Structure 1
């Protein structure tokens, strides 16, 4: 069914991206920040492609439909509507950027290509889009970067500076510009804060920590106690960040009744803005399968109200109650896992870095690596699960009113 203007205008933001379809491949993508972006899916040369049309309301529903019609005409004439004609001599930054993007499209994974264009539409085009390439100064680029830095998005600001340079390197050989104004601002970028390693106990104290989590009784309410304990174990076993666990939903979990369960963490919840696949050990599968009473919520680990996730501080407060204030944070679980894996010498460093969802510097490779090294990572996380379960078993059997203890596969 075709969209109505009011449907687009009053589309509300949600926790995840969602689409409102107008038909024939045209849809508006509604982002968690409330922005609305027109997209057109089409096929050319036997491949599915995606055309970025622009943001709403700058591009109205009628305008988007006109672009769809123009694209259909181009396809009927055997032309790719995403391959723009060479801009005129006085080209604008937005024209050059879209031409650069279209030129790279075949080498990028679709979701990454969409994310890249969204970044330009959100931050670069409002500041630089209408300006002529030859008129843009280093001060203009720096002002755009400063706006992004002001909201604390230092990774994004550096990527935008990089994109501007890439666009100019694309434009200069074609005579659209003479120099790259972004080349002179590198030393003016706000430096990233020094990495502050989260407190964590030594590996020799890990067994004591694991047993403390396994025996957690820091809350009177049995349901809250069980969910908190399960969330901490899940985080420890998956090497996830706190918010990735808190906001995990049941529909992100795949194959829990199979030998190879998987957690598909969406890009918008990842620090590096890309989908991340986490192979789940048998211990995690057991833990999740034994939480049926909480499936009334979309969240795997719901808060006091089923429609809300576990609160931001629940797990760190649990660490405090267990006596680990200043000694161990939930984020520090990742450091413990990394130390174990690196000291084991059985696992390659790139498996470990991928399991931790650390940054991939090469942008094109980074677009494809959500499933990279999935098989060896599954073995590594299973070994970690067996290692953790073995520590629990060393304490002997005891009754539980929470999610049952983990089981070793060994």
Structure 2
């Protein structure tokens, strides 16, 4: 399986967020015409009044957001290059675009959080049928036609590639007939991704690029606290989603299925051991994120975190929660070389604050043939 950078974002936004519910006049997201008809209704701006309308709004707004990003990232940069736009002006435009994305993600995240399907199934989705002119050039190229298509199910390696216009590639690598009948676990899968992406972009907006391009300046410390809450909530939602999937007893056009469900189009096969690993990963990430475990970033550090050393004195570890919740003053420079965080962000390693096993796990995975497969697993299970 190969994913383009745009596909990566689309998978996190559009497909995940596209998980929806039926109404008396349920939107049809199994055909191109049905998709466009449903999204025309959303574009009229009516306030969603039930789960059906909320999810249709999420589908349409998130796919429109992908189109906005792709159009701006292609035609916008072509324009700026042609006009020889100054670096300062480019930074302003990039910042404006990020702020727009954050606002849209926040709006659709709130809609998703209101959806309570219970045991009820919902809309049928056929993502490979959502043909959009994503770069707004007046035509739908093959890579645009299949941007939301799902990779075939299996244990392929994780890799990145640019957009393809080769039909044989899509026939070989993608499940073009995949259909999903959405349930509550799918909503939670999408909601977790919204938390993570909104949190990461909020993290980015906490900083400004230094004038000499030698680092970044902490300009908005409050945004670090907001990012910490968003990403932390993402771990909580992901854990709830895992439990919801395991509790399912039906087997009807599933997106993400448990080991007893065979009718699933989820690209990564998951057995009982995978669900146990997933539980462990969520717990370890939450412990690290909340400061209950520490990153080994002391003097003499080696491995993947060697570049961080010596952030902390020997015998201590980096408390990630303190980095976010007790940030230094606005105007603090984080140089790309030689930056040291405040010592208050370091904490003594002891029984109540052990070293997190996550860096060691990542180090081991990176040195094996399964490393890229593990990355693929992490991507799809958010």
TM-score, with length taken from structure 2:
0.25
Q: Larger C-alpha radius of gyration, 1 or 2?
A: 1
